[in-house]
Chains A and B, each alone.
Chain A
Amino acid sequence: MADHPYTHLPEGAFWSPSVAQRHMLDISGLWHAPFPIAPRDRFVTFGSCFAQHFGRALAARGFQWQDEEPPPEGLAPDTARRLGYGLFSARTGNIYTAAMLHQWVDWALGLRTPPELVWQGEGGRVHDPFRPAVEPGGFADTAELLASRRATLEAFRRSILTCNILVFTLGLTESWLDRALGVEFALCPGTLAGRFDPARHVFENRAFASVHADLTQAIEKIRAARGGKGPRVILTVSPVPLAATMSGAHVLVATSGSKAILRAVAGQVASELSRVTYFPSYEIISAPPFRGSFFEPNLRAVNRAGVDHVMTQFFAGVPDNAQGRAQEAGTDSVEALACEEEILGSFGPRG
């Protein structure tokens, strides 16, 4: 048989042996970290909601997931998550688009100034248009909101300037802008809070060139602010379909179009910039061989098995020597013991 370029390719290059002839859970080797990952590397994670799983999984595996705006110690984990803590490496809420990432980077590095804009909610409470869900029900007033936003911006700045590896998950191409201020919102005004003003608020479905430019500039600006020293970047695309579309297309078709653009941009940027890789969480959940089995019955949310499978594939691609160890549980506090002594002293048997 003649020798040709396909002759020496690994099995993963061929559909039949690596996909069709395997059980879907045995499909492997989907990603290999193209740069070193050491146990001491500090990860930060931002992006759409699917990015939340990355931070948690990294921490659970003993990797150094950096939380620059942690919840107060003692706050119950469920409450902390409800208040937007511990989901990303700062309390940014979801950063759905490349343009919003670019905006956060500019604000954090002082290249642009965020407007002191708030959205009015119910009962006089106010929401942050750039992270409207981090404070359920809204902030008490504008001063509280702006103090919180400043802290998040500072935490975001520390995250991007001190991490070794930035994981960013692209979620959407559809975005809502304030024409007058030139800023992008996390949500359409009026949906969760605020008021929609058709004269001011404009919809834009970002095309490939726009997403590519924002993502590239965001990464390059971070690297420039660090004097060219890092970070390594892992890009992913959220497999979660759009909840709704303003594109005019059917939401299924719009989802396919948006994800195709994001997937193409991620691949393109990974091929153009050094130390940037694309991790295929989108494919692991959405590709036909997985038959939609990683989605919840609403065919949108990714189920636990899907998240676990994505993270298993991720860690399988990380060199063994980087795998961390889970944290050990803590012990009783000295002060709790002091209370027991007081009880014993006053109520225990006397000598």
Chain B
Amino acid sequence: MTPTVTPLALIGDSHLGAIKRAFELSPELAAGRPLRFHAFGPGGEATRPFFTVSPSGGHVATTAPRWRNLTLDRQSFAGPEGQGALIALSLPLNTARILRTVSWDRHVPWELQVSEAEIPLSRQTVQALIEQDCGHAVAYARAVAALGLGLVVIEGPRCFAHAPYVKRLRPEVCLEIDSRYRVAVGAALAEAGIAVVPQPAGTITPEGFTDPAFRHENASDAHHANAAYGRQVLRAILDHAARLEMEEGGAAG
């Protein structure tokens, strides 16, 4: 009997673009695994309520006005033999949102304050900003997981040091917020039993930014990564899917 292959559906924000381009350039990476993409739209929409759960709990639907919305149920993206899909979600672990929208040029974690022109923020305030930014996206991940679909969250790339929203900040402030965000969201996802595919270590500079070698093919885009980055992430996701199949196969055997 041929082992069943879990279909893979990659959904979420604009960081899926790099993965999609990598797949288009090298479809053989999937090794025959059915792959589907569904990009919602700008991740910034995720800071507001953007999904509903049906009264029966059987459907989770995104509702953001500027998105290409998606309704998921247990059979979404299922394979031809009815095998449930693994959903890879790029959304909760995206620090660009909080780095772009909060006034980190004027407000800083209190430990990093260097002048009276900066307003020091307590840990509680920074944490409130993080929870406010990621709360709906983490809740969405929980809701999708509750459908019974397999779910893994794709960690978004760390910011590029040359990005305009990073250049107006002190690097240590930027990296501190990035770090606290990843720790807080990682903990929330772990508590919900949701695995994370981390950013490949080889794409991160010693300082903690994304290596400029992986900047977007379009030089004017200082926010998204390129297909070479996407290739590494796609491999990591596929490896994760294969591991799950082995574990499930092992458990079944």
User: Are A339 and B44 in contact, with the CB atoms below 8 A?
Assistant: yes
Contact indicator per residue, chain A 138-149, by CB within 8 Å of chain B (1) or not (0) = 011000100110
Is A76 at the interface (CB under 8 A from chain B)?
Answer: yes
User: Are A73 and B102 in contact, with the CB atoms below 8 A?
Assistant: yes
CB distance from A124 to the nearest CB of B (A): 13
Chain A neighbourhood of B120, CB < 8 A: 147-148, 151
The interface-forming segment of A4-12, A26-34, A254-262, A330-338 is A330-338
Contact indicator per residue, chain B 1-40, by CB within 8 Å of chain A (1) or not (0) = 0000000000001101110110000000000000001010
Is B101 at the interface (CB under 8 A from chain A)?
Answer: yes
User: Are B128 and A148 in contact, with the CB atoms below 8 A?
Assistant: no
CB distance from B108 to the nearest CB of A (A): 9
Is B162 at the interface (CB under 8 A from chain A)?
Answer: no
User: Are A140 and B37 in contact, with the CB atoms below 8 A?
Assistant: no
Is B123 at the interface (CB under 8 A from chain A)?
Answer: yes
Chain B neighbourhood of A137, CB < 8 A: 124
CB distance from B204 to the nearest CB of A (A): 21
User: Are A76 and B132 in contact, with the CB atoms below 8 A?
Assistant: yes
Query: How far, in whole Å, are A145 and B102 apart by their CA atoms in the complex?
Result: 22
Given contacts A73-B103, A339-B13, A342-B221, 16 further A-B pairs with CB under 8 A are A74-B129, A74-B133, A75-B132, A79-B132, A83-B124, A136-B124, A144-B123, A147-B110, A148-B110, A151-B116, A335-B96, A335-B100, A335-B223, A340-B14, A342-B223, A346-B18
Contact indicator per residue, chain B 212-223, by CB within 8 Å of chain A (1) or not (0) = 000010100101
Chain A neighbourhood of B71, CB < 8 A: none
A-B contact pairs, 13 of them (CB 8 A): A72-B102, A74-B101, A75-B129, A136-B124, A139-B122, A147-B120, A335-B165, A336-B44, A338-B221, A340-B42, A341-B221, A342-B216, A345-B17
Query: How far, in whole Å, are A135 and B120 apart by their CA atoms in the complex?
Result: 13
Chain A, Cβ-Cβ closest to B15: A342
Query: How far, in whole Å, are A270 and B107 apart by their CA atoms in the complex?
Result: 38
User: Are B103 and A72 in contact, with the CB atoms below 8 A?
Assistant: yes
User: Are B113 and A147 in contact, with the CB atoms below 8 A?
Assistant: yes
Chain B, Cβ-Cβ closest to A91: B119
Query: How far, in whole Å, are A69 and B125 apart by their CA atoms in the complex?
Result: 13
Chain A neighbourhood of B66, CB < 8 A: 340
CB distance from A194 to the nearest CB of B (A): 19
Chain B neighbourhood of A343, CB < 8 A: 14, 17, 39, 41-42
Is B224 at the interface (CB under 8 A from chain A)?
Answer: yes
Chain A neighbourhood of B102, CB < 8 A: 72-75
The A interface is mostly helix, strand or loop, or mixed, namely: helix
Chain A, Cβ-Cβ closest to B100: A335
| CB proximity to A under 8 Å, residues B119-166 | 119-125, 128-129, 132-133, 164-165
User: Are A74 and B42 in contact, with the CB atoms below 8 A?
Assistant: no
User: Are A72 and B107 in contact, with the CB atoms below 8 A?
Assistant: yes
User: Are B119 and A338 in contact, with the CB atoms below 8 A?
Assistant: no
Is B208 at the interface (CB under 8 A from chain A)?
Answer: no
Chain B neighbourhood of A151, CB < 8 A: 113, 116, 119-120
Chain B neighbourhood of A147, CB < 8 A: 110, 113, 120
Query: How far, in whole Å, are A307 and B37 apart by their CA atoms in the complex?
Result: 53
Chain B neighbourhood of A15, CB < 8 A: none
Chain A, Cβ-Cβ closest to B117: A154
Chain B neighbourhood of A136, CB < 8 A: 124
Is B186 at the interface (CB under 8 A from chain A)?
Answer: no
| CB proximity to B under 8 Å, residues A60-114 | 69-70, 72-76, 79, 83
Most buried by B among A75, A336, A346, A347: A346
| CB proximity to B under 8 Å, residues A308-346 | 333, 335-336, 338-343, 345-346
- Choose among A83, A140, A148, A347 the residue that contacts B39 (Cβ–Cβ < 8 A): A347
Is B43 at the interface (CB under 8 A from chain A)?
Answer: yes
CB distance from B133 to the nearest CB of A (A): 8
